[in-house]
Amino acid sequence: MNPRRKKRLLITSSLVVGLSLTLGLVLFALQQNIDLFYTPTEIIKGKNETGVKPEIGQRLRVGGMVVPGTVKRDPTSLKVSFDLIDNGGGIVTVFFNGILPDLFREGQGIVAQGELINATQINAFEVLAKHDEEYMPPEVADALKGMDHLKNNNNR
């Protein structure tokens, strides 16, 4: 092998090793920031496909319906706790310290992002309330009502 080929091989090998190392470090850094989505049943029983349960201390997102009658508010602070349920019947308790979204209510779907405390409890740092598909801001609803009136007049 002549010196020119050795140099090219060394440079190419160095680039491949360097890119592999960089990619590995990026994936390792991002691994700690990935929040996986679970339902209450999946937290308790594990994912359907793999049976994998989240580990205590793992960051995750959990989505479900707020069980009516389970919302408990601390009168002296912003602390609130409530239970979440899904179609599978699994129930988990969510603890949150902060202001809940305006659309939050019992029987409503929510997504909470937080950390798993134990097998059935989550300490959330963010709660997002989901609205149903038929939700429409009042301004849009009023505008559509006005358009329906015009549409009916044009058909006559």
pLDDT at 75: 92
Task: Note the pLDDT tens digit of each residue in 113-140.
Answer: 999 999 889 999 999 887 665 655 565 5
Position 35 scores a pLDDT of: 61
CA–CA gap between residue 116 and residue 37 (Å, rounded): 12
CATH topology of domain 36-129: OB fold (Dihydrolipoamide Acetyltransferase, E2P) (2.40.50)
pLDDT for 132 equals 60
Q: Return the pLDDT at 33.
A: 62
SS3 state at 149: helix
pLDDT of the residue at 123? 95
Regions of the chain with pLDDT less than 50: 149-151, 154-156
The domain spans of the chain are 36-129
